[in-house]
Amino acid sequence: MDQPKYSKPTWLDIVARYRTPDLRKGIWQICNSFIPFFITWYLMYLSLDISYWITLALAIPSAGFLVRIFIIQHDCGHGSFFKSRRANDTIGFICGVLTLTPYYHWRKPHAEHHAHAGNMGSRGPGEVITLSVKEYLQLSKWKRFKYRLYRNPFVIFGLGPVFSSILMNRVPLPNIRLWNKEQKSVHMTNLVLGAFVATMGLTIGIQQFLQIAIPIILLATTAGVWLFYIQHQFEETYFENHDKWDFARAAMQGSSYYKLPKILQWFTGNIGLHHIHHLSPRIPNYNLQKCLDENPVFQNVIPLTFWKSLKTVSLKLWDEKQQKLVSFRHLKSIQKQEGEEIVC
């Protein structure tokens, strides 16, 4: 399949106009994210004396604001939210405490994700593991089972977010022993979280605190994992071997334009405009829509709607011949056509 080429000087000139952070917009976004989050959190506390169903209902907007807070952390990690590096790091750390995601510990693997997204030869810890059909067929039965288990929706969107946010984020990655700042970020975040939980236990009670916090965490982390998943896991995405991998193609073809309803786009901080974000991570989230609206070149992609995105859950493997993601069911038809033994 012939792929379009993207002129580097052209897109560099375009995105440069949107990279400048706006202090007023940044402060306003902090206000309209943090303040409503704490208000809904307090309303959830008050509702415990009325009905827990009300508490659970309030957890939905509260989780939405927490997702928005993570987007602020995300921008701070890219150094795009404020001009000041210190301001980015300070706000990013605060966001990381609320999202249970140590700021520096998350930032480094995420930067590697941006540097290698779609590169089959450089898949790191910040990726949704995706094997090619050829790689999968070369695995033992046990490793195939583990891969299928990992890609199971219940695991990747259910157990995975909880395990990652509550447990994995409490311990530094085993391969970052030399990353002193990243290690300290984990320990400092844990320390602040421990102090906060202890304070809540002494004031409102640990049971009441967990009744409020757990639904918010479950909803927000699941939504966050879904967003990260759908940003690169769609049928006509982009994967390429290391020697042929191209940064601009990986951004424009391998990152989705997730066209959400306006209210969901607001709560997710325009992160659905992911093709632009990957082309230039230094564009603040509050400038992404403007960049899209003013430049037809970024509109020349097929948007992924919410309902269409649900169908991507069945896509598990990269078919190098057809240059698209396929399901395990499709794998059986490939093997049948080629006269191979059908083993999944």
Tokens found for residue 39:
């208000």
> How many other C-beta atoms are found inside a 10 Å radius of the C-beta of residue 176?
17
Does some domain include residue 145? no
pLDDT of residue 122: 81
186 domain residue, yes or no: yes
Q: Is the pLDDT of residue 7 over 70?
A: no
Digit-coded pLDDT (tens) for 163-196: 888 888 888 766 655 567 788 889 999 999 999 9
Q: Are 47 and 107 in contact (CB under 8 A)?
A: no
* pLDDT tens string 97-131: 999 999 998 998 898 899 888 898 887 767 888 99
Would residue 72 count as lying in a domain? yes
Please compute the mean of the pLDDT values over residues 84-96 and round it to a whole number. Answer: 97
**What tens digit of pLDDT does each residue of 250-304 get?**
999 999 999 999 999 999 999 999 999 999 999 999 999 999 999 988 998 889 9
Name the token pair of 207.
């049971």
- Assess if residue 162 is contained within a domain: yes
Type of residue numbered 46? L
For 227-257, what is each residue's pLDDT tens digit?
A: 999 999 999 999 998 888 999 899 999 999 9
The number of folded domains in the chain is 1
pLDDT band at 330 (very low <50, low <70, confident <90, very high): confident
**For residue 271, what pLDDT is reported?**
96
Q: What is the pLDDT of residue 174?
A: 65
% of the chain exceeding 70 in pLDDT: 92
In a domain, 341, yes or no: no
CA distance 166 to 161: 8
Q: What 3-state DSSP class applies to 105?
A: helix
Does 160 score more than 50 pLDDT? yes
Residue of 226, 225, 234 lying closest to 301 (CA atoms): 234
Q: Is the pTM of this model over 0.85?
A: yes
- In tens, the pLDDT along 49-86 reads 999 999 999 999 999 999 999 999 999 999 999 999 99
Read off the tokens for 229.
């998943």
283: in domain: yes
User: What residues make up the domain containing 109?
Assistant: 8-137+153-312
With respect to residue 43, please indicate whether it lies within any of the assigned structural domains.
Answer: yes
Within a domain: residue 332? no
